[in-house]
Structures are given as structure tokens and as C-alpha cells.
Amino acid sequence: MANSLEKNNNDPSFTQLTDLAAERLGGKVRYATDDFFAEKENLIKPGRGIFIPDKYTERGKWMDGWESRRKRTPGHDWAIIRLAVPGIIHGFDIDTNHFLGNHPPFASVEAIQLDTEPDIFDLREGDFTWTEILPKSPLNPGSQNFYPTKSESSWTHLKLHIYPDGGVARFRVYGEVSKDWSTVSKDTIIDLASARLGGKAILCNDMFFSAMGNLIMPGRGVNMGDGWETKRNRTPNNRDWVILKLAHPGHIKRVLLDTCHFKGNYPDSFTLEACFATNEEDVKKDQVSWQSLIARTKLQANHEHYFVDEVQEIDKVNYVRLNIFPDGGVSRLRLFGHIH
């Protein structure tokens, strides 16, 4: 699956998991001891951060990350991040991209599970018991600093410590969504593919222009880059495809396919297939029996396509394959149904 967005082969396997802190998923930076040079909110934005050589602000060099001032007193800086959804964390990327003479030499991470959302003062000053899940670890400048963690608990908030001060471009928190499915009625219609519930894009044949995971993010796409777009394919009768793992096995009743922002590059048509499998590797190797969920159907540019009557009755599925012909871009895919 060679493409411009494919992760480096040297990246740890945990980077294939959901970024639980991502702003676009609903994460929020609640507090930072200091963000004099660059705002704390940048920590969880998309991408690795950019650098504009001649851009300055009233406070100094503009940087695309979180950057505190040079500390002249004892102590160190830290920030509190509320995860988009509760999750079990498998690893971190503390990315110091473009922070070269101003990166923190060390960082650590603490975590906590909170049932309610405290106000900022209580979150900062309250008598909470934080658990260290990443001990004080060295950071390289201008680099993605990957660290696994073996915590098996579910967490809602993290405290990122930097020692003693400096700048971090992005903070990625890779893990699995924790969802108590016993609280969801089998009669309730939900988006079974939603990333906020634990849905995942697990494989595609091409994502040259934009990533497959965008398909199941909350909200409508903000621009053409916020979707799944393949390169122009010159092979006759080409088919591009992406496989989604549902958050929970279920019965799909309605489908929304949105080509928002894709005007001269939307797919001509699509099909949707589904299966139930207990082994994900079998799905990835195409060693499963796919059933037709929606037969081949023409698409329109920049349009929300709703399907109800066209959706075939399949009792229980946990993987869906979207096929587009011959290539192009899709912004979002919603698979509404009830859990099985």
C-alpha cells in the first residue's frame, strides 16, 4: 500500500491505533502552566506542525506547537489534556518537530480516570491521584519521540510534563476507545463505524492525498484534505477500496456517504460490502466472504448521499469494505444501525 501518507515502516505498531487526544476527535487541552510563545491548543491539532521562517508575533517567533517561556524559577511546565473519549493507551508520540534550540530535554506523562469534568481550577488544584504511565524520558529535538506504555486501565485525562520548559509541536496518544456497551440498547440506532465509539479504518489500497481514517471522524469534512482521496488511476476498470472495522458487531440499517468538497475528483460510483469475521488478518488478506450491502450506485459531487431502501439485510457484520470506481475522494461514511 505505497502512498504519500503511509506511516514510516519504522514507526511503532501502536501508531496504527486511534489518537485518543486528537482535537478533531473531540480532545481538548484544558490547562497549561505557561504558553507564552505558542498556544497549548496546538498540541492536539492535525499534522506535525509547520514552520514559517519570517513569521513573528509580539511575543517572539511564531511556532506551531505549545511553547512556554524560559523558566527562571524552580519547577517545570505541564499541561492537562482531556481525551476525546476514555481509552486504554498503548503509546505516545511527543513530537518536537521544528523545535531545535528550544525543545524540552525530558518529558513524562500522568493519567487519571474522572467520571465528571471538573472546572479548570479544580482540575489544576484539586486533590486528585494521578498515575504515572510514562516516566521521565529524554526527548530529541526536531523529532517524533515514540514511547510505549503498558497501562491496562482506561483513562480520561493526561498531564504532560516537560522539563524544565520549551516547546512541543504535537502530542499523540495512541490507544483503544473504552466503551461500556452494556449501556447501549440493542434498539438504539448509532453510527457503528464512528471513531468516537471505537470504529477504525484498518486497510486500503491507496490514500495518496488524504488518510482513510478521516472517513469516520466526527462532523462534516472541513476541506478536501479532510477525507479519503486516492490518486488518479489510469488502469481501465480500476477499483480503489478501504476496509472499516465497526466499533461493535451490528446490523446496518442506513448509510450516509458524503462527497463534501470533492467536486472534480469524486468517484463515479461505489459499492459497499460487509462481512463478519473473528480474525482481522483474514479480513486483511481477503480470506473472508464479502456480502453486498449496497449494489453499485452512481455518486454526485459535493453531496450527502442517503441510503435506506438500497441497504441489503445482513443480520450481523463487523467489517465493511467501501469500493469506489475508478478513484477519487469521499469525505465521510456513516453506517447507522444497532448493535448485535
| Nearest in space to 160 (alpha carbons), one of 115, 119, 111 | 111
Domains 13-177 and 185-339 share a fold: yes
Q: Hey, is 200 helix, strand or coil?
A: strand
Superfamily of domain 185-339: Galactose-binding domain-like (2.60.120.260)
Question: In which element (H, E) is residue 122 found?
Answer: helix 120-125
Distance (Å, whole) CA 157 – CA 81: 6
| Grid cell at residue 152 | 491496562
Q: Give pLDDT, residue 9.
A: 67
| Nearest in space to 34 (alpha carbons), one of 195, 165, 213 | 165
Question: In which element (H, E) is residue 120 found?
Answer: helix 120-125
Q: Give pLDDT, residue 4.
A: 43
Burial 10-31 (b: 16+ CB within 10 A, else e): eebebbebbbbbbbbbbbbbbb
Q: Give pLDDT, residue 10.
A: 85
Domain residue ranges of the chain, discontinuous segments joined by + = 13-177, 185-339
Distances (CA, A) of 272 to 242, 324, 329: 10, 9, 15
- Provide the 10 A C-beta neighbour count for residue 164: 17
Distance (Å, whole) CA 325 – CA 235: 11
Residue 314: partners with Cβ closer than 8 Å, 6 or more residues away: 251, 252, 274, 291, 293
The mean pLDDT values, 10 residues at a time, for the chain of 340 residues are 53 95 97 97 96 93 96 96 98 98 97 94 89 98 97 96 98 97 96 98 97 97 96 96 98 98 98 98 97 98 98 97 98 97
pTM of the model: 0.92
Superfamily of domain 13-177: Galactose-binding domain-like (2.60.120.260)
